[in-house]
Structure 1
């Protein structure tokens, strides 16, 4: 029996799927099984998955209709036998020592039920944008989660299977399933984040719409209010704030500015240059676009990236 079961749900993920799978297969900790469910993809995802499964016995591929992320993850977790579960998405990249670091921590900290970590954000082309640091202790993480500031990034997570089975993902959440799960698991176990960066988290527009962002906020609030009620908490504040690029010209312009500044602040000069030039090209009369280009050219960033 493998020590880690990696669970991945795929829906029309062909663009980055091979890169994501390769990043799992080259882990320095090799005692894992990779369980992938294709959730009714209409692109080339299933062929890619079957090709990999034919060459590596650790990979198991299942298929089904599009039943949603929570139901798919519950299905995969139900078939897993490993004591640890690692989440992975079809568009992200694991760093090679991710599993080794997380397994070591969980072995040394038996009270920890959910372990996340820090990440580097990347864009659709793989350009690095920023290093994202997250709170490390249970108390900090849970306090943030309770006010809607999700402080464990879903695809960085490794969890104890026995604890997850006591809770499970709630399929009535079309989004924010992770926050709801973290809040419930925090009531029966400890949460933690590693200070190490273990994942490159890809940010891209895709088909994210304004209505879906509204739904994200609604489901996030629902998860928080349910936790407040379970724990008998009153006077809580909801501080949710999440901005995602939608497939509109206005959103793309805002994306270029936002991540141009982040890349500059984190020392990723090539990424800054790309987005600064894109911002000026998008809106030649924009003061903010020219400010990004000029300030980035004449000032030193506040921190440096690797």
Structure 2
């Protein structure tokens, strides 16, 4: 008996768009010019106030078989739009995409191959290169020692120390069968819905890290101008997520994880507090100060922050983290 042929593409690329600006067309074209044609590509304009929808429709007219464009009548936000796109797609794998970034021609081929080689992972993320506004590569010599397969406990330990493991949405591929178990993005969250979903997926299955650098992730001034306005919201959401992450660990490891969280993550929030103060964002500063006071003594947080700066000056911070916090 012959195996029934699937009419679904192997992978879907979904792109939420809001005021995509000057980089949108190049981002879309980089998907439409993939070497692998076994994909569906759906973009949703989230009630942009610029010419984003017109740009999308123009590109659709050039690539009518590969590209679908939908739109929201009113602005729904990132995670509600992503859920709409997931529901509009059919492929078993879903690659999330961003309006600023560029896919390398082999990106989808390598994502499909990675999931075929690691069938029992709920999601994967791949490495990236960084580019600036002009498309020039920004040097990045940081080494990532994260393994290919990340267990639930490994995910929890990494996230407590370093935050959201993928770093972005544009380098993430989701597996639909696991989304059906874990659920979609939490639409009540404004900033950290991705981090929260990765945590739910990691709690039910291993996730994967593909070390191949498959996209160019763009850094530009427009992103920076938006970031400070959402600092408090991000931290408020992240704190609740970190609480769930620590709960994924065995009891004997939770104490160590909490110590790391206080020294690494909570102290990094003090950086954000100072940043808001320097920018004279006094309303956001007051909200974040109140939140940090609720989580820990603000004097202790500031002293940890100061001590870490001193240790970095004399190059003792790595020793401190490895030898002291892991006790």
TM range (shorter): 0.7 to 0.9
After superposition, residues 58-73 of structure 1 pair within 5 angstroms as 58-64=66-72, 65-73=74-82
Which residue is 1:32 aligned to?
Answer: 39
Q: Structure 1 residues 96 and 133, CA, compared in 2 at 3 Å: closer, same or farther?
A: farther
Q: Structure 1 residues 86 and 209, CA, compared in 2 at 3 Å: closer, same or farther?
A: closer
Q: Structure 1 residues 209 and 146, CA, compared in 2 at 3 Å: closer, same or farther?
A: closer
Given the alignment of the two structures, is residue 219 of structure 1 paired with residue 227 of structure 2, yes or no? Answer: no
Q: Structure 1 residues 204 and 30, CA, compared in 2 at 3 Å: closer, same or farther?
A: same
Aligned residue for 1:115, secondary structure, equals strand
1:127, distance to aligned residue in structure 2 (A): 2.1
Q: Distance in 2 between matches of 1:148 and 1:180?
A: 15
- TM-score normalised per structure 2: 0.70
After superposition, residues 178-197 of structure 1 pair within 5 angstroms as 178-197=194-213
Asked if the contact 1:147–1:224 (Cα under 8 Å) also holds between the matched residues in 2, the reply is no
Given the alignment of the two structures, is residue 138 of structure 1 paired with residue 150 of structure 2, yes or no? Answer: yes
Aligned residue for 2:221, secondary structure, equals coil
1:218, distance to aligned residue in structure 2 (A): 2.0
Number of aligned residues: 248
Asked if the contact 1:33–1:58 (Cα under 8 Å) also holds between the matched residues in 2, the reply is yes
Q: Deviations over 1:58-105 (max 9, x none)?
A: 211111111111111111111111011001100001111111111011
Aligned residue for 1:208, secondary structure, equals helix
Which range moved further: 162-171 or 101-110? 162-171
Q: Distance in 2 between matches of 1:160 and 1:222?
A: 25
Q: Deviations over 1:108-143 (max 9, x none)?
A: 211111111111111222221134654233044442
Which range moved further: 144-153 or 113-122? 144-153
1:146, distance to aligned residue in structure 2 (A): 3.8
- TM-score normalised per structure 1: 0.74
After superposition, residues 69-88 of structure 1 pair within 5 angstroms as 69-88=78-97
Which has more radius of gyration? 2
Which residue is 1:228 aligned to?
Answer: 246
**Which is richer in helix?**
2
Q: Structure 1 residues 225 and 75, CA, compared in 2 at 3 Å: closer, same or farther?
A: same
Residue segments in structure 2 that go unaligned for 5+ positions in a row: 1-7, 280-327
Q: Structure 1 residues 130 and 172, CA, compared in 2 at 3 Å: closer, same or farther?
A: farther
Which residue is 2:108 aligned to?
Answer: 99
Q: Distance in 2 between matches of 1:142 and 1:55?
A: 45
Given the alignment of the two structures, is residue 158 of structure 1 paired with residue 165 of structure 2, yes or no? Answer: no
1:30, distance to aligned residue in structure 2 (A): 1.2
Aligned residue for 1:7, secondary structure, equals strand
After superposition, residues 115-130 of structure 1 pair within 5 angstroms as 115-130=124-139
